[in-house]
Structure 1
């Protein structure tokens, strides 16, 4: 899965999740754990790749620098673009915990958010101080950074209309302005229209501006699937999303079902053990 598809998922969550969370919502500890594991794995990969690229740019020959930058570009783009979902998701988790008066989702999401902030800072430092970065790459990457920041603040405005999550944006005043505008645009019909418009805008803004090969397609898929599983299927039943997201969710549901079956059938299960012992006593010859 490409990071551009995370933007579409973030847009869907920003519009539909705030109202959904005000209902009787339960969360999946398994999905939340899967989100943490996949995110931490991706963070580790980013760290290794950024360190490797930094060393290559520092010690490599001038003629090799363009090739090194081309290799680093997918990682940098993925960090910048997937940051949108990371910030929207922690805002959703904060809103959930405050509405439900619990403290279950925010700590996990905050841990990932802090790690993503560190990775983003390292990527930006690489852009600022790395050798041999030409304007033909620097300009579009900087444009991508600014576009991602504005999209983040806009999407957070939908959540800030109900919960104070301004601190997760890049420009708190801009988040508040978006939130104030959105408060006057309530209604299910407008919500559907807003989602459709945002989806089209996201495809246009991020669809052709990024390299086609994602840096971590498997982890992006797992993260999206975990996000979609955390607060229940009902949140995503009211609209259609891109197929890879649904595939990721189906895979995660299948994995959960498989683990449940294995748990029920394991010989370590005390209930099963007791039944097996009873059958053994009943089948043994009586003295």
Structure 2
């Protein structure tokens, strides 16, 4: 703020910086409002009344149809709002994008949901474990049918297999 008051920052940049500060304060109040039902975190809000309004609004909307989409949409808006920085052109922007794409490409597709958002680690692990279990069961059933089963057992396994079991 001292740089703004001393006039060392051009007016255009000062206005943009002030908008960033205001946006950050509003988003902070929203995030604090999300936690206000769990604990008294109002000391972290820039405007406790605004944070309480956000809390009340989020609580009231929990009962509405489609409410499970509210928080993911808000977080997407938060990310999109900060995606543009104060400097429109950053050095090595294209290189940074290529590095980020290379890092993301190292992950298996199962780590992301349909919209490209990373799933929680426990969910990705659970999906991998269920896939592994299916493969083990399939291998065991194939081996059983091929090697040991009686005619009646083979028929029963084939019926179960037809239903994906």
Instruction: Give the TM-score taking structure 1 as reference length.
Output: 0.29
Q: Which structure's CA Rg is the greater one?
A: 2
TM-score by length of structure 2 reads 0.48
Higher helix share: 1
